[in-house]
Structure 1
């Protein structure tokens, strides 16, 4: 198993399949984003080698991210190949949902188990403002297709940004009355080119909860208030679904972190909010063996930092969110 020096078992790898996206969300990437040449990004066989190495050192959970993972060429075949690797117990995806209407069923048939869909508002005008050109109906159609394909339980991820959608948390929370989903509200994180903007745009979990309770009544903790991954779960009276709150800024959950991230250009990143990375792509293209790759990854994981340092105003600036996979 892969342990870090703080005694945490690191078993969950988030794999960015591309740095590209078909939207330009204000908290994720600049509107005029410059992407890396495709030759500098991980190819399918390189991703599969890293997944094999990861399973052999104890990873069992894998999440495909981006950019937007569904725009990667041949993504269904790649999902099928990853799902077939021994030791892959959980295979999920975070997506903006735009292409799920046609991809949900083939992805499910290929072995994808469930999806998290990014949806920050139910207001079409605000959605377009946040994404810069997205159409809300495309995402809603995609969520419906994911439900029909069995990519469940569905989780909706709403990044709450002051001046954009802080008032929309109430309508998002109402969805839990009708649907058995986990609707997750995420504090915006200061990052890369949007760090200064993000610092001023953070809406804390406490404010989100206050808005929801003022409109819909008290929230009851689920699981005794224990973390479900990175979210604390609550339920409204009579609701089918639950609400999750991810408090990266105001209430960090670093002590229970079990994650590592693989960037689209082949860097192993041990903390989302720390810039230190270990290059895997260059050694792979230089002919590193599977055993050597496992040793490289194990050594990197051992040095995983205890946590981010946002409380000390240490802001990651080397990349924007879309290059890492969130």
Structure 2
């Protein structure tokens, strides 16, 4: 499936080296003041080429909105947004199109789609398509902030190191060695009411896990700060300024799939970029022969560097969707 959500539905389209990448958003509330500058800024946070530690691919990522907006506000009709691909270089992929790059989707995509898939830059499986998630999430953020809900994130580790002062050094070292590194990102949502989410499969954490794990390179998600002893892990309840709170937030703001009203906090783990400059063993899945390859092209050493706005966007989509389901967020903004 290329669509996320039940009432607020974000359908992603395009390929890494195709004409464009975009999002078709169906179910956005009518009357949201559409701040194009805000959406563009969110795209700018994600786009490549901002530093020497990121992919050298230079894309303008200029936002185009094709439908669903009239007189500066959403109409309730589907909102179609896209960015054009202007700096795609497919030359490095032709010579290895039948070789399964370790850590990549080449072989499984070939098996899934019978060889008809666009293999250039990993096609629909590329991190490039996270730009579409950012578009849908930015629109969701515009609706959520009108209800006092905000989302933020930060990189908390690179290559297992939790010292931010060492991040650049670790990434540069991996780059020089023709290698890549992992990253972990902490995301926080503030302003959520208690009661958001549905039991079991429709739980806040279950829906978030589904959306977050759909982000390329994500290998894990953890809510809160679990402790080994129940006496420490349990968040005791208290009254503060007339409202029920918990003294700690080890649960990450979720109990039984339902928000507690405390900050929603979770950590997302990104694997090292599978595209590395070292020689690796593999196979040609057409000839069924073993081979070696050394990957060229333009790649991030650490995908986590550009991931925070993507994690925030996926979170925003889920929160707005659940908010609409619970009727905590209106279908029309007056």
Q: What's the TM-score, normalizing by structure 2?
A: 0.26
Larger Rg: 2
Q: What's the TM-score, normalizing by structure 1?
A: 0.26
User: Of Structure 1 and Structure 2, which has the larger fraction of its residues in strand?
Assistant: 2
